[in-house]
Structure formats: structure tokens, C-alpha cells
């Protein structure tokens, strides 16, 4: 998969901010497992620590003690723009006429190619291959004298999906794009304020969930408290439906929706058209559990946990590399042979993207003696690339672009296959369906990307420059 599908957690006015951010990032670990980083300010200087790996691997107790301050910004990364490397770990820090600026990004810009050329012509030197760094350069090169005006001008230049945490020595700025593709929420704890990609992180640290940052909103947190302004408006919203299908934790409120309730309703909707007899409904843990509960409730087919999840293996969807993902599938889930042998089962899956992971799961179930496997999927076929932060950037990677539904069924080794449709997804949420982005299913892109946009566009741009001078 591929821009930034990541997690952001920030704190302002919090004693020992680093420790709190650590726990916040830990609760957002499902959003990115490649790297983690944190910057902390005591209002005079900024300290940072970054590393490859999980939050618990990157931050040890002695590291956190050195990150002293009451203001901080943290990030967990799953790469969607730029390769997996140390130089691409966020938050990024840049020093300019406004002082030290740190920025963390969840999303994906769709005008990276044009921005790269513009900034390069203006003398910008890039230290990474991340679209996030471009925002730093835009702020630094702004024609405005004031920092907040410079941020606004930078926001007017970028297009795509972005939820941002921007930090100086003395303030935090939280931003959401005008379409609202990616989530971002405001919380409060002991007189201080928190920013998080998901509300579940507030629950973990004992904070109060106040509200979501609005699309097009720029929220400033400093010694004067909270200030809100809207730097842009859009004619429509484009909340990423895949946040509800897969990415977000079930105990989060995203886009005003309970993730748990939405997934359960997806299973309910799928069961309304069920015409196969089965002995049990089983989920693909963990994202399929809640849809399976809804499916079982509606169909009256018993719910069983037919596969046991290894809690020490992360999310296979966001692990880079096919070989690693396939191995993780086998390590992650083990079928209950005594329960499943000779049974006809309906399995609830959140999505079929490339198909390789699902195929491995079905092989494992058939090897366990399952008589029939009928798969029900809580997302429609992925027929179009996503340019807004989900890592399926090319049509060639999408199995639904190469095969019919019947061919996919045969490839996966299923006895039957059925997807929810877009109408069913709209039925599963409380907000109007028009507020959501379904571009990866229907090709209706709210924001048109630069031609040739892909995960490694900036690496390719740099190579083009090298080739010119060789």
C-alpha cells in the first residue's frame, strides 16, 4: 500500500509532555509501524528523538526523561509518500526566520510534483523525500511577516489530504484540509490541550474528548488559550470511508461516527442479502470482528472466533513488502481446527486489495478442514488507486482491476464471494453518504492529483535532476 497514513499526537501545557505523548502514540500504533518520532519544547529550546520501529522500541524510559518540556508533537508513520528510511521519519524540524518549526503529517498531497519544481526553482534544498517537508519550505518562503499568516499561505498552496500538527517553541497549530479526508481531534487534560488522530488516544491517557477539528480549520493553541480560524472552505466533504472500514480503532469516534457501530452496521447490511446456509460466522481479527457480530445478529447464524490472533504480530495491511505481509499472515492468525473441521463458514473481511493476504488465509482454513468458505467483504471492490494516503497507488496492484468477481473468487479459493456496495456503505453511517470519499471504489476523485503521482515521486524527481547533470 502508499503519502502518509499515520498517527499524530500533540500536547500543550502538559507536565512531562513526552511521557503523555508516548502513551498517546502507543494507542495510535495501529496507524503506523514503520517509525516513530517526537519533538518536545520547554518554550525555549526543542529536543527530538526518532527511530525506526514501534513506539515501545524507539522510546525507552531514559530517552523520555531527556525530552523535557510541556509542549510536544509525536508521530507514527506508515509510508505512502517517500520510502522507509531514517531521513523520512517525522516530525520534521526546520529552522527559519520564525525560529524552529516542527511538523507532523497524516495524509498525502496530490500536487507534490508541481510543488517540488516550484520550491526547487526558489532554491529549496530537500533533506528528505517527503511531501511533508515541502510544507516547511512553503512556510519559510512565505511573503508574510507573521508566522500564522505564513502557515495560512502555505496551506493555500497545497492540495490533497492532510491533517497537520505544527509546533514552535511556544505554540501548537492543528490543521485539517478543507475536504476533511483525514481525522484530527481536540482533547483536554489538567488544564492543557491535546491533539490526536483518533479520539481513542484521549481515553487511554485519561483526557476529555472535546471535538473534532473541522475541515478547513486552523486551530492555534498558545499561552492565550485556543483560537480557531478557517483558512479555506470546500463545496463538499470527503471523509475517507476506509477509516471506518479498516484503519481506525473501533473505540474511536471518527467523522462524528462510532467506528464500532459503523462496522457492525456494515455486517448487518451484508447479511440482509445472505442466501447461503452456514454453520457459523467468523471474523478476520481484528477489523472484521464487529462486522461479523452485525452479520451474525441479522442472519441468526452463530458467531464464533474461528481464528486466533497472535497479539504480538502487527497489522499485515501496513507492513511493507509482499513477502513480509504473507509471512505475517501465517504468524498472525491460527485457525481453530477442532471448531472448524467439516463446517461451512461465512468469513467477514474488511477489504480485498491485492488478494494475496486473503488467499493465504483461505488456504489455511481449507487446510484446517473447513468444508466451505464463503467470504463477505465490508468494502466494495477496489478498482481505482487512492491518492489521499492509502497505499494502493497503482491499478496494477489492485486485483479488482485485473479480474472479475468470479475470477477473484476462484483465485482466492472461495465457495462464494460477495462485497458490500457503495449504497450499503452509505446505509452504514449516520452522516449523509455524500460527505464521504469513495474514490478508490468508483473513481470519483474530489481533488485531481498531479499527473504521474506515486509513492516514490520525489525519489524519481531527484533522480531526474541527477540524470540531467550526468
* pLDDT reported for residue 332: 74
Q: Determine, yes or no, domain membership for 322.
A: yes
pLDDT above 50 for 200:
yes
Q: Determine, yes or no, domain membership for 249.
A: no
Q: Determine, yes or no, domain membership for 453.
A: no
Same domain, yes or no, for 272 and 166?
A: no
* pLDDT reported for residue 78: 80
Q: Rounded CA gap, 117 and 121, in Å?
A: 6
pLDDT, greater one: 36 or 317: 36
pLDDT above 60 for 456:
no
* pLDDT reported for residue 286: 82
Band of residue 81 on the pLDDT scale cut at 50, 70, 90: very low
* pLDDT reported for residue 452: 59
Least confident of 65-74, 106-115, 222-231: 106-115
* pLDDT reported for residue 453: 59
Beta-bridge partners for 253 = 258
Domain containing residue 169: CATH number: 3.60.20.10
Question: Kindly report the CA angle at 404 between 333 and 362, in degrees rounded to 5?
Answer: 15
Mean of per-residue pLDDT scores for the chain: 89
Q: Determine, yes or no, domain membership for 450.
A: no
Band of residue 462 on the pLDDT scale cut at 50, 70, 90: very low
Least confident of 293-297, 318-322, 434-438: 318-322
* pLDDT reported for residue 466: 35
End of a domain among 203, 238, 273?
A: 238
Same domain, yes or no, for 160 and 231?
A: yes
Q: Which of 6, 240, 437, 440 is catalytic?
A: 6
Same domain, yes or no, for 278 and 232?
A: no
End of a domain among 206, 238, 270?
A: 238
Same domain, yes or no, for 298 and 423?
A: yes
383 is catalytic: no
Q: Check if the beta carbon of residue 228 is closer than 8 Å to that of residue 217.
A: yes
Band of residue 119 on the pLDDT scale cut at 50, 70, 90: confident
The number of distinct structural domains making up the chain is: 2
Within a 10 A sphere around the Cβ of 315, how many other Cβ atoms? 19
Same domain, yes or no, for 20 and 121?
A: yes
Same domain, yes or no, for 70 and 199?
A: yes
pLDDT above 60 for 455:
no
Q: Determine, yes or no, domain membership for 17.
A: yes
Q: What is the largest CA-CA distance in the chain?
A: 72
Band of residue 123 on the pLDDT scale cut at 50, 70, 90: confident
Q: What is the mean pLDDT of residues 153-166?
A: 96
Band of residue 313 on the pLDDT scale cut at 50, 70, 90: low
Containing structural domain, residue 429 = 259-442
Q: What is the mean pLDDT of residues 45-56?
A: 95
Least confident of 134-143, 165-174, 221-230, 328-337: 328-337
pLDDT, greater one: 79 or 179: 179
pLDDT above 80 for 320:
no
Q: Determine, yes or no, domain membership for 350.
A: yes
> And the C-alpha cell for 45?
529550546
Same domain, yes or no, for 203 and 281?
A: no
Domain containing residue 371: CATH number: 3.40.50.2020
Q: Determine, yes or no, domain membership for 462.
A: no
Same domain, yes or no, for 212 and 345?
A: no
* pLDDT reported for residue 309: 83
Amino acid at each position: 500500500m502508499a503519502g502518509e497514513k499515520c498517527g499524530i499526537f500533540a500536547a500543550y501545557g502538559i507536565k512531562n509532555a513526552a511521557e503523555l505523548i508516548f502513551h498517546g502514540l502507543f494507542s495510535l500504533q495501529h496507524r503506523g509501524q514503520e517509525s516513530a518520532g517526537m519533538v518536545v519544547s520547554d518554550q525555549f529550546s526543542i529536543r527530538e528523538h526518532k527511530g525506526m520501529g514501534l513506539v515501545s522500541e524507539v522510546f525507552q524510559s531514559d530517552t523520555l526523561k531527556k525530552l523535557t518540556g510541556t509542549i510536544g508533537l509525536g508521530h507514527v508513520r506508515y509510508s505512502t509518500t517517500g520510502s522507509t528510511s531514517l531521513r523520512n521519519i517525522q516530525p520534521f524540524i526546520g529552522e527559519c526566520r520564525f525560529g524552529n518549526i516542527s511538523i507532523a503529517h497524516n495524509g498525502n498531497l496530490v500536487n507534490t510534483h508541481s510543488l517540488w519544481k516550484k520550491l526547487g526553482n526558489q532554491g529549496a534544498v530537500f533533506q528528505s523525500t517527503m511531501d511533508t517537508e515541502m510544507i516547511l519550505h512553503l512556510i519559510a518562503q512565505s511573503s508574510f511577516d507573521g508566522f500564522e499568516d505564513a502557515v495560512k499561505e502555505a496551506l493555500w498552496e497545497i492540495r490533497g489530504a492532510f491533517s497537520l500538527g505544527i509546533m514552535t517553541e511556544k505554540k501548537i497549530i492543528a490543521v485539517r484540509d478543507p475536504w476533511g479526508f483525514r481525522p484530527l481531534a481536540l482533547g483536554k487534560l489538567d488544564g492543557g490541550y491535546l491533539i490526536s488522530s483518533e479520539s481513542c488516544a484521549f481515553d487511554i491517557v485519561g483526557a476529555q474528548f472535546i471535538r473534532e477539528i473541522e475541515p478547513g480549520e486552523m486551530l492555534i493553541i498558545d499561552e492565550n488559550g485556543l483560537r480557531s480560524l478557517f483558512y479555506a472552505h470546500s463545496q463538499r466533504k470527503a471523509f475517507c470511508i476506509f477509516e471506518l472500514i479498516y484503519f481506525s480503532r473501533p473505540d474511536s469516534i471518527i467523522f462524528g461516527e462510532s467506528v464500532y457501530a459503523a462496522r457492525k452496521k456494515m455486517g448487518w447490511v451484508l447479511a440482509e442479502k445472505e442466501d447461503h446456509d452456514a454453520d457459523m460466522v467468523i471474523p478476520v481479527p481484528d477489523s472484521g470482528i464487529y462486522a461479523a457480530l452485525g452479520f451474525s445478529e441479522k442472519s441468526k447464524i452463530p458467531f464464533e472466533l474461528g481464528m486466533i490472533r497472535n497479539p504480538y504480530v502487527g497489522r499485515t495491511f501496513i507492513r511493507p513488502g509482499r513477502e513480509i505481509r504473507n509471512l505475517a499472515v501465517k504468524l498472525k492468525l491460527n485457525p481453530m481446527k477442532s471448531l472448524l473441521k467439516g463446517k461451512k463458514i461465512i468469513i467477514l473481511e474488511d477489504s480485498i486489495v491485492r488478494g494475496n493476504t486473503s488467499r493465504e488465509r483461505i488456504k489455511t482454513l481449507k487446510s484446517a478442514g473447513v468444508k466451505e468458505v464463503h467470504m463477505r467483504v465490508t468494502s466494495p471492490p477496489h478498482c481505482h488507486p487512492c491518492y489521499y494516503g492509502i497505499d494502493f497507488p497503482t491499478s496494477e496492484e489492485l486485483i479488482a482491476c485485473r479480474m472479475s468477481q468470479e475470477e477473484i473468487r476462484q483465485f482466492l479459493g472461495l465457495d462464494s464471494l460477495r462485497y458490500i456496495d457503495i449504497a450499503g456503505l452509505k446505509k452504514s453511517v449516520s452522516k449523509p453518504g455524500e460527505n464521504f470519499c469513495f474514490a478508490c471504489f468508483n473513481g470519483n476523485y474530489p481533488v485531481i492529483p498531479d499527473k504521474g503521482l506515486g509513492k516514490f515521486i520525489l525519489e524519481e524527481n531527484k533522480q531526474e535532476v541527477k540524470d540531467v547533470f550526468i
